[in-house]
Amino acid sequence: MQIQEKKVPHLVILPLPFQGHINPMLQLGSLLHSKGFSITVIHTQTNSPNPANFPNFNFEPIPDGLSDGQASTEDPLTVVSILNDTCQVPFNDTLSRLVSDGPHGPVTCIINDELFHFTKAVADHLKLPRILLCTSSPTCSSIMLSLTLLQQTGAISITEGQPNTLIPEIPPLRIKDIPDFSTTDPDTFERLAENILNAIKSALAYIMNGFDDLDPTALEKVREDRHPTPLFTVGPLYKFSPGASNSLITQDHSCMAWLDKQPPQSVIYISFGSVASIDKTELEEIAWGLANSDQPFLWVVRPGSINGDDWVELPEGFEEKTREKGRIIKWAPQQEVLAHPSVGGFWTHNGWNSTLESICEGVPMLCSPYLWDQNVTARYVSHVWRVGIQLENGFDRSEIEWAIRRLMVEIEGKEMRERVGCLKEIATRSVAKGGSSYESLQSLIDLIMSL
């Protein structure tokens, strides 16, 4: 499915500057580049991607007005809100220049992260079509739609009931699984959500990073809600574009040689992504839970993730006890790690990219969701797809030890591994010729080519 040579459409992509948003956008850019499109990345100066990783792309930085403190805030929604204000003018200026005299030919279309609603005003002004990439899961998007509706009609109030109370209209979710979007400014989320929804309505297309058979009901719901904006499900994007991620932290590849020496499916890999943080007590509980489980482990402790400290003070005696069994690194080549035959489990915060990567590599999960949509994803992992175990009581060393054993050695873990192996096969089929994501991608290309 290569496009015609005589016409090389030029796409401008704009990622949101968070790791979990940058990766899928650059994967999409790489995928479309491999189909013959010319790609310009307009990006914020904060968390800018490394052009050396994408020698075929053109990069255009724009100032974003974020201070260092704001960029590392634990309130990402406020950052998104600020960026929507500060980026509009520089984005407009850069795009206007590209439209009139860019070396890569006229701009055919913009593809931006759906949370950047300001692009609507710019695209309308420049008369450019706009496509949106949603980086969260179809399941969560559909749950949010149902939830909004249920709240509007007064059918449920999430402030009532115990945290473990099931919400009958959206099983198997409980009150405590409902995402909390509170920010330091209470009006921020409401305003942001309204602007984002308005911007979606007039988009040319809406892209999701998932595959049809994982949760067809959810996709149908999102499709209906986005109508008449057409929905294209083209995931898992990283399977189409392996190696197209852009790590904001240097990945430590030395762990691969260590994995080579471990028995098949014996290692539990632990990483809570690029935003989640824990405190020192939680670190201690995790450390002793791991040590007491007596399983080999590869643990990512991201700099700054323990109460903002740059590096970690591990509990006394831990290193001695786990020297033979464990490895701690600052950042992993995660997709490679999950694909390694020695890895038998993934203890994750259930960010959508991590969850998708785990499913697509056939690795069952231990789930410790941290914020937003991660609770919903964890609940689906444990209770719908049944490929993981959720830790329900935060970080408690006895529960951790027991859960790791259930996942890694007990029959329960074996059954989960079989189920996730089936999902892996379905995901692999979806990106192969004739598969649902492959076909959806072709339809998306046809749409862009028709512009």
331 lies in the site for ligand UDP, by CB under 6 A: yes
Cβ distance to ligand UDP smaller for residue 123 or 259: 259
47 lies in the site for ligand UDP, by CB under 6 A: no
Cβ distance to ligand UDP smaller for residue 198 or 307: 307
20 lies in the site for ligand UDP, by CB under 6 A: yes
332 lies in the site for ligand UDP, by CB under 6 A: yes
CA distance 103 to 246: 25
What HEC string does the chain produce? CCCCCCCCCEEEEECCCCHHHHHHHHHHHHHHHHCCCEEEEEEECCCCCCHHHCCCCEEEEECCCCCHHHHCCCCHHHHHHHHHHHCHHHHHHHHHHHHHHCCCCCEEEEEEECCCCCHHHHHHHHCCCEEEEECCCHHHHHHHHHHHHHHHCCCCCCCCCCCCCECCCCCCCEHHHCCCCCCCCHHHHHHHHHHHHHHHHCCCEEEECCCCCCCHHHHHHHHHHHCCCCEEECCCHHHHCCCCCCCCCCCCCHHHHHHHCCCCCCEEEEECCCCCCECHHHHHHHHHHHHHHCCCEEEECCCCCECCECCCCCCCCHHHHHCCCEEEECCCCHHHHHHCCCEEEEEECCCHHHHHHHHHCCCCEEECCCCCCHHHHHHHHHHCCCCEEECCCCCCHHHHHHHHHHHHCCHHHHHHHHHHHHHHHHHHHHHCCCCHHHHHHHHHHHHHHCC
Q: Which stretch, 50-58, 168-176, 181-189, 328-336, contacts ligand UDP (CB under 6 A)?
A: 328-336
Minimum CB–partner distance for residue 370 and ligand UDP (Å) = 7
271 lies in the site for ligand UDP, by CB under 6 A: yes
Among 9, 179, 273, 435, contact with ligand UDP (rule: CB under 6 A):
273
Among 357, 361, 373, 401, contact with ligand UDP (rule: CB under 6 A):
357
Cβ distance to ligand UDP smaller for residue 344 or 351: 351
Cβ distance to ligand UDP smaller for residue 247 or 292: 247
300 lies in the site for ligand UDP, by CB under 6 A: yes
367 lies in the site for ligand UDP, by CB under 6 A: no
Among 275, 290, 298, 441, contact with ligand UDP (rule: CB under 6 A):
275
Contact predicate 218/434, CB 8 Å: no
What is the number of other CB atoms lying within 10 angstroms of the CB of residue 146?
18
Q: Total binding residues for ligand UDP by CB under 6 A?
A: 21
Q: Which stretch, 179-187, 260-268, 273-281, 395-403, contacts ligand UDP (CB under 6 A)?
A: 273-281
Minimum CB–partner distance for residue 274 and ligand UDP (Å) = 3
CA distance 61 to 2: 29
Cβ distance to ligand UDP smaller for residue 156 or 372: 372
266 lies in the site for ligand UDP, by CB under 6 A: no
Cβ distance to ligand UDP smaller for residue 94 or 334: 334
114 lies in the site for ligand UDP, by CB under 6 A: no
246 lies in the site for ligand UDP, by CB under 6 A: no
Residue reference for tokens 């027991």? 402
- Segment 178 to 237, residues that bind ligand UDP, using CB under 6 A: none
- Segment 71 to 110, residues that bind ligand UDP, using CB under 6 A: none
Cβ distance to ligand UDP smaller for residue 298 or 445: 298
Among 352, 380, 385, 395, contact with ligand UDP (rule: CB under 6 A):
352
Minimum CB–partner distance for residue 128 and ligand UDP (Å) = 28
CA distance 403 to 383: 15
Minimum CB–partner distance for residue 371 and ligand UDP (Å) = 8
Among 236, 345, 351, 413, contact with ligand UDP (rule: CB under 6 A):
351
19 lies in the site for ligand UDP, by CB under 6 A: yes
335 lies in the site for ligand UDP, by CB under 6 A: yes
Q: Which stretch, 39-47, 109-117, 222-230, 330-338, contacts ligand UDP (CB under 6 A)?
A: 330-338
Q: Is 44 exposed, middle or buried (0-12, 13-18, 19+ CB in 10 A)?
A: buried
Half-sphere exposure at residue 73, Cβ-oriented, CA atoms within 13 angstroms? 17
Cβ distance to ligand UDP smaller for residue 58 or 277: 277
Please report, as ranges, the residues that interact with ligand UDP according to CB under 6 A: 18-20, 23, 245, 247, 251, 271, 273-275, 300, 331-332, 334-335, 351-354, 357
